[in-house]
Amino acid sequence: MERVDRSLLTADAPAVAPQLLNKLLVHGGCVGRIVEVEAYRQDDPASHTFRGETNRNAIMFGPAGHLYVYFTYGMHHCANVVTGDAGVGAAVLVRAVEPLDGIELMRARRSGRAALADGPAKLCQAFAIDLRHSGTDLVDGERDAVGLFDDGTPPPVRPRVGPRVGITKAVEVPWRWRTPAED
DNA sequence: GGAACGATCTGC
DNA sequence: CAGATCGTTCCC
């Protein structure tokens, strides 16, 4: 199994996002296929980077292919793939993966619940991803670090496209992509 | 120094 | 549909 190539991630976040569908997220003994993503760009009112670089969002201004994890609502973590050139604050939020391996581990981390990784905070819990992993390199990291892999499955030809979820600004921008059920 | 608010999830 | 729960950001 090969890693995702970094050159795939240096483009604009809305161009990269659908390319991440069907790629594999690997961490904590678990493997999942990415089936839902959202793009966030620096000139985007809904993005953490809209008001410029801060200590919290600095990773988003770094090189493409690194992991940006943020903590929200006092209890949840969300995982993003940094995109674009260094100096540009953009990333793709991984919203859902289809569990492929390590399902028993996911179930345990999710306290036995049926929903394992069908939400950005749920998948972080299932894959044991938290702030300690923020800033790590997804495409050239240690063996047990968070990684992005390509098993040869191409992105869906006709992904579902629609507005992003849970935001209050730029609500209409259609930068959410999902793998159709039949893919 | 303080207040408001989340790129969410869960249980009622 | 409201509560949980706390770091970040912004405004005074």
Strand C, nucleotides < 7 Å from a protein CB: these are 4-10
A77 touches strand C (CB under 7 A): no
Please give the radius of gyration of chain A, using alpha carbons only, rounded to the nearest integer. 15
Task: Return the structure tokens found at A114.
Answer: 């049926």
pTM: 0.97
- For each of chain A's 183 residues, which pLDDT tens digit applies? 899 999 999 999 999 999 999 999 999 999 999 999 999 999 999 999 999 999 999 999 999 999 999 999 999 999 999 999 999 999 999 999 999 999 999 999 999 999 999 999 999 999 999 999 999 999 998 999 999 999 999 999 999 999 999 999 999 999 999 999 876
Residue A46's nearest nucleotide, by CA–C1', is B7
pLDDT value for A183: 65
* Residue A71 Cβ under 7 A from any strand C atom: yes
Chain centre distance of CA A88: 17
Tokens 């991630």 label which residue?
A: A9
pLDDT digits (tens, 9 = 90+) for A109-133: 999 999 999 999 999 999 999 999 9
Tokens of A128: 């044991």
DSSP A67: E
Q: Out of 3.30.420.130, 3.10.300.10, 3.40.50.300, 3.40.50.1970, which CATH number does the structure's domain A2-178 have?
A: 3.10.300.10
Å from A70 (CA) to C7 (C1')? 10
Where are chain A's structural domains?
A: 2-178
- The pLDDT of residue A181 is 84
Q: Does residue A3 approach strand C to less than 7 Å at its CB?
A: no
- Residue A134 is predicted with a pLDDT of 98
Q: How far apart are CA A37 and CA A165, in angstroms?
A: 10
- Our measurement of CA A53 to C1' B11, in angstroms, reads 37
